[in-house]
Structure 1
């Protein structure tokens, strides 16, 4: 059961990574076209800038779980880079309460903001109104996705602490048995 859950969390974070990749392409293509339309054709878009802002929020949402899964977050290498796998696991376990606190507040307050936005049917105050509530709803959902990856990493750290083995030495890229 645990193996299945770890596989599902890994697949979810990979899917979120692909979504982020597509959103980056969207921002690049439409950002360039907006600049071209504004300066070359003197015909600025009424919706591209706002949709790119929404896409950037979504990139931040989907990128968190993917970056955490691939250990791509910036860490204080002075204490972490040269540490043994067991010491890295201890450092991860010491910082876990702060992670849970941050994610708890993000999910709690994000859900409140999303529910209010849905209730008010919030739209952007621009020439072309774009719904805001789907973006606000993505924030607590992304927090839950990151929480699942944090829990998976916590399980890996506990296994490393107990066994003393480096999960990177396993055949699987996720450190799974």
Structure 2
């Protein structure tokens, strides 16, 4: 593989590692919000914002951690036939199928940009009693999709190198 491609793969891996580790700790923020909600429900009136804030944090957890899980091969895969193949054949199949993932992620990003633009332009708010602005979470979703696209491209290059008999 050319040196610029290797640098790209290393840079994307490094960024997704940092972002993924940050996202991993969002689970504690979610737990804190839900614990606060439970305590307030038992003691006083529960706040309006806790459930929706926990949902927003879960979206950040899921979307920002997507690239990291792709990097660590932690996603779900049907291993019935795949596990019997040689590493080189797996890499060849992965190199083809990841192109479908990249296409899907680009379509998702297109919709995310459209939705984020709408939220920013019109000041879109949630239809809940708390009524937070939707633009921040939509921006986080777009950032997470971009990180996943970059990681999918890095995985593609890694699979192509494996098919060619090279390793990163």
TM-score, structure 2 length as denominator?
A: 0.90
Change in Cα spacing, 1:88 to 1:6, as seen in structure 2 (3 Å) is same
Shift of 1:140: 2.2
Q: Which residue is equivalent to 2:6?
A: 3
Find out whether 1:14 has 2:37 as its counterpart: no
| Deviation >6 Å, runs of 4+ | none
Structure 2: 5+ residue runs without aligned partners? none
Tell which deviates more after alignment, 126-135 or 79-88. Answer: 126-135
Q: Which residue is equivalent to 1:53?
A: 55
Shift of 1:129: 3.4
The separation in 2 between residues aligned to 1:157 and 1:97, in whole angstroms, is: 11
The separation in 1 between residues aligned to 2:134 and 2:128, in whole angstroms, is: 12
The separation in 1 between residues aligned to 2:149 and 2:156, in whole angstroms, is: 10
Q: Which residue is equivalent to 1:36?
A: 39
Change in Cα spacing, 1:100 to 1:3, as seen in structure 2 (3 Å) is closer
Question: Is the contact between residue 118 and residue 133 of structure 1 (CA under 8 Å) also seen in structure 2?
Answer: yes
* Aligned CA-pair RMSD: 1.6
Structure 1: 5+ residue runs without aligned partners? 168-175
- What count of residue pairs does the alignment treat as equivalent? 165
